A and B are shown apart, each in its own frame.
Chain A
Amino acid sequence: MVERRIGAPIPDRPPDSHNLLFLLGKAQSRFGYLPENLLCDISNSLGIALGDVYGVATFYSFFSVQEQGRHVIRICKSLPCFIKKSQHIINVVEDATGVKLGTTSPNARFSIQLVNCIGECDKAPTMMIDGRVYVDLTPHKISRILKDYE
């Protein structure tokens, strides 16, 4: 990821290619989820028991072992957003996409999840779609935002 100058001391840090979390993160962003055969491959190549690979894959909320929609909508449900009517945003997103919370649309366009504080509480209510953050949400904004995701 980061280039090193020639002559610089050899870094102490073990390489990313041996790091389970790093590999899972790469796979998640490439495939949108962590398919079983991929977890088996990683287990074999790192020499880590498959159960432990699953243990890590299921610990973190940004990983999914189930297939997801092409776009993952994460709506913030934490207190500062909650008191700025995040429930209303959830309803509007569900209606606009025809997808229920925690599920994926039949055409695999969207999955919707509720998440905890995404660090934008001064602009509540908020949500993320894939890597992007959307703030100061209103019902009107949502239909416009969703149009950008096919």
Chain B
Amino acid sequence: MPQLHIVLRNCGVIDPTRIDTYIKRDGFQALNKARGMKPEQVIEEIKASNLRGRGGAGFPCGLKWELAKNSPGDEKYLICNADEGEVGTFKDRYILESDPFSLVEGISIAGYAIGARCGYIYLRAEYHHLLGSLLAVIEQARSAGHLDGFDIHVQEGAGAYICGEESALMESIEGKRGEVRYRPPFPPTKGLWGKPTVINNVETLMNIPPIMLNGAGWFKKIGTERSKGTKVFSVSGDVDKPGVYELELGSTLRELVEDLAGARNIKAIQVGGATGRIVPFSMINTPLSFETILGAGAITVFDESRDILEIVCKTLEFLAEESCGKCAPCREGTTALVEILNTIRNGGGRRGDIVDIEELSRAMMLSSLCGLGQGAPNPVVDTLQYFRADYESRLATKEGVK
């Protein structure tokens, strides 16, 4: 299946520094159309489209907006999550570079729908080089009169993966350590500065203008039963053509990594980054969707030359380092997993170690406070399922010693 560009429709087509090139591509017509409707009607349209969040969790976008809109209070916030810290993800960076105007338009529509007067873009520190152009784009939209008094503020992060998690992100915007909040209350009820808040990923908001222009009925025809529209993937690792690809949801892994990105001799594919899933080559025909595997669309391909234990160890080292430390199962659990996995990798493991990491993984999944700790065992659990021999062969070398 070829690529289908909805989110990326303007990328490489417009000049991302010039608003007139965006206007020529129907720029800000969706916003004008939305402003001619009641906020409730805009939310109905997004609900009817079945658009789900592209930041990883897949929460229904329209429902989130409705919750915030219906929360009492006239001070509300819209936050665009441009923290993109997931290992192997770079699609939001590509979008910010190539079509920031659509993002500004999507943010403005969302702000109008939920009744916010102020929107934030939380930009990761690593993307500081995009700050200048982003501010210039906002300024162009403002002086052309498209923002209509709506204030869009760019707040920069300072280097912390966990700040992509929505409650840690809000703590960070408030100037604090990026530690995860206990929930409930959820952001649409009580978010930034204690006010009703919607947090959406960059790619989610990029879908808003085309849905408003073409209608929910058009959007619903694309994708699978429970995953409508397209997904933008970041493909890296052992492929000939790494990069950003946009495909209809439900396209297979094979179409993406073999047909488009040119992967060969695949051993394993990590889908969704560090807390995502690791699947063997035999699952290459799996469709990519919320009901199967997806995450935020990070796809890292490993060929036959790669060592599974090395992949798992590196992934867990990342998570141990980036754990915010608020809850013990994750803080202690990620460190313990790194230690045991490295011992196994170096040939010093005992048979009981595998039982231990399986038990620890279960405990972490059940009792961690946020998606980092809950998802941290995924790479371990998956590789134990699909690549168990890689673990056991390491143990076997020491069998005689014990």
Contact = CB atoms under 8 A, between A and B. Distances in A.
A27 to B, nearest CB: 11
B20 interface: no
A135 to B, nearest CB: 11
Contacts of A9: 117, 149
B93 interface: yes
Interface string B120-133: 10001111110000
Interface of B: 75, 77, 84-90, 92-93, 117-118, 120, 124-129, 135, 138-139, 142, 149, 151-161, 172-178, 193, 195, 234-238, 242-244, 270, 300, 302, 306, 311, 314-315, 318, 321-322
B399 to A, nearest CB: 30
Chain A, interface size category, equals: 35 or more
Nearest to B315: A79
A1 B158 contact: no
Given A9-B149, A78-B318, A122-B234, A62 B159 contact: yes
Contact of A22 (B126, B175, B243): B175
A131 B300 CA distance: 26
Contact of A61 (B152, B159, B300, B306): B159
A124 B236 contact: yes
Given A116-B318, A122-B90, A20 B176 contact: yes
Contacts of A115: 126, 159
A127 to B, nearest CB: 11
Interface in A1-27: 1-5, 7-9, 11-14, 18-22, 24-25
B135 A59 contact: no
Contacts of B302: 83
A2 B151 contact: yes
Contacts of A128: 126
> Nearest 5 pairs between A and B by C-beta?
A61-B159, A60-B158, A62-B159, A121-B236, A122-B242
A121 B89 CA distance: 7
Among A4, A60, A63, the one with the most B-chain Cβ atoms within 10 Å of its Cβ is A60
B85 A61 contact: no
A18 B322 CA distance: 27
B88 A2 contact: no
Nearest to B124: A119
B135 A1 contact: yes
A25 B89 CA distance: 25
B88 A79 contact: yes
Contacts of A62: 125, 158-159
Contact of A59 (B88, B126, B173, B177): B177
A115 B157 CA distance: 15
Nearest to B128: A131
Given A119-B84, A122-B235, A79 B314 contact: yes
Given A5-B149, A117-B87, A80 B142 contact: no
B135 A2 contact: yes
Q: Decide if the interface of chain A is mainly helix, strand, loop or mixed.
A: loop
A29 B244 CA distance: 31
Contacts of B175: 18-22, 56
17 contacts: A11-B118, A21-B175, A22-B175, A59-B178, A61-B159, A62-B159, A78-B314, A79-B87, A116-B322, A117-B87, A119-B84, A119-B127, A121-B88, A122-B90, A122-B235, A131-B129, A132-B129
B158 A25 contact: yes
Contacts of A11: 117-118, 151
A124 B237 CA distance: 8
A82 B155 CA distance: 30
Most-contacted residue by chain A among B88, B124, B172, B321 (CB, 10 A): B88
Contacts of B135: 1-2
A65 interface: no
Given A60-B157, A116-B321, A117-B86, A5 B142 contact: yes
Contacts of A133: 126, 129
Contacts of A8: 149, 151
Nearest to B163: A60
Nearest to B303: A83
A123 B236 CA distance: 8
A116 B177 contact: no
Nearest to B158: A60
Nearest to B126: A118
